[in-house]
Structure 1
Amino acid sequence: MALPGEGEFSLVLRADFRDDAAWRAVCAEIDAAEEYSTATFVSDPRFAGVTVQALLDEEAAAAEEDKVFHVFLADAVTMTDAEHRLLAVDLADEPGRTFRVPPRWFPDVSVNLGIANMDFAEYADEVDGTGTYRGFGGED
């Protein structure tokens, strides 16, 4: 179940396949939030129901050149939540650490993690009471 390499883009991995319209809405919201897309959308049924632990196990077994440092999981919560909050998963620095991020904030998180301008923890440390990143200082 190797994860697709992320290259310069952030991997948005579909893990819930019960509602195609919800998936399309999530993708559209992410695309609408940024001028130049930084998302690589993966809708592959082999990832149905994938857990954070399974992602960590897969990364632990991956060759160094195939490592993915973070992933944005479109899980059951994402698909049923009115905000379509993705689950950001750290696979490198603090493997398994997570937070939720609405599509509105995806570009900020994606770009800064992608260019290593900021660390995963800097975002995870700024979550609200629901575990959701809404900008520094809760700007949303």
Structure 2
Amino acid sequence: MKNLPDTDETLLIRTDHSDQAAWQALLTAVTTPNKNGFLANVHVVDDVAYSDLTTEQAVSVARARGDLLIVADTTALTGPEMPLLAVLPFHEDEDDDYDEDEDEDEETKQEHGELRVIAAELWSIENNISLANMDWEDFVNAADEGVFRGF
């Protein structure tokens, strides 16, 4: 796989190149500030080298970067709300995410979080996770059927 850009911004990786109009609509939604002026701070990666990037590969990329990663896949480009896939690797020091008394062994412990977020609300997850203002679980708990649509 081609190396990703080295940037402090959250990567937004396009993995579906089948519909240019849908991609442009998604970019417009992501790059338009909300009514309060909030905007996701993303670095767009629009390269056919990442076509059909699997969830496992995205998780691997996110884990290697150690940061939030956003994927514009087929679901994001075909859904009416443009539900992007947000991937966040969990770090060893994030003990709050795990209960040491659970019977879960190291092999089954989840190493990342995945959550769909509609394009219009990407700013909320990206800003708050990147600045450590909120925890991943805050967004997971606010999601409806696995999709975060805002608070």
Q: 1:108 to 1:45 in 2, by over 3 A?
A: same
Structure 2 counterpart of 1:33: 33
Post-superposition offset of 1:14:
0.3
Which range is displaced more, 20-29 or 83-92? 83-92
Are residues 79 and 125 of structure 1, via their aligned partners in 2, closer, same or farther at CA, if it must alter by over 3 Å?
A: same
TM-score normalised to structure 2 length: 0.75
2:47 matched residue in structure 1: 44
Aligned equivalent of 2:149: 134
* TM alignment of 1:100-139, pairs within 5 A: 100-129=116-145, 131-136=146-151
Gaps of 5+ in 2: 92-109
- 1:43-65 Cα distance to aligned partner (Å, 9 max, x none): 011111111211233455x4xxx
Tell me if the contact between 1:87 and 1:98 (Cα under 8 Å) persists in the aligned partners: yes
User: Whose radius of gyration is greater, 1 or 2?
Assistant: 2
Structure 1 residues 52 and 11, CA gap change in structure 2 (3 angstroms): same
What is the TM-score when the length of structure 1 is the normalising length?
0.80
Pick closer, same or farther for the CA change 1:103–1:57 going to 2, 3 Å: closer
- Over the aligned positions, Cα root-mean-square deviation in angstroms equals 1.9
Query: What is the match of residue 85 of structure 1?
Result: 83
Q: Give the equivalent residue in structure 2 for 1:54.
A: 57
Give the length in aligned residue pairs: 129
Partner of 1:3: 4
Contact kept, 8 Å, 1:38 with 1:110, in 2: the verdict is yes
Per the alignment, in what secondary structure is the counterpart of residue 124 of structure 1? helix
Q: Secondary structure of 1:89's match? A: strand
Q: Which amino acid aligns with 2:41?
A: T
CA deviation digits over 1:42-93, x for unaligned, max 9?
Answer: 1011111111211233455x4xxxx241111100001111111111111234
Q: Relative to 1, partners in 2 of residues 1:37 and 1:121: Cα closer, same or farther, differing over 3 Å?
A: closer
After superposition, what is the alpha-carbon deviation per residue over 1:78-131, rounded to whole angstroms, capped at 9, x for unaligned? 1111111111111234534211111221111111111111222221222112x1
**CA–CA separation in structure 2 for the residues paired with 1:25 and 1:92:** 31
Show the counterpart of 2:23: 23
Question: Structure 1 residues 96-105 or 69-78, which shifts more?
Answer: 96-105
Does the C-alpha gap of structure 1 residues 89 and 58 become closer, same or farther in structure 2, counting only changes over 3 Å?
closer
Q: Paired residue for 1:71, among 69, 72, 81?
A: 69
**How many Å separate the matches in 2 of 1:107 and 1:37?**
4
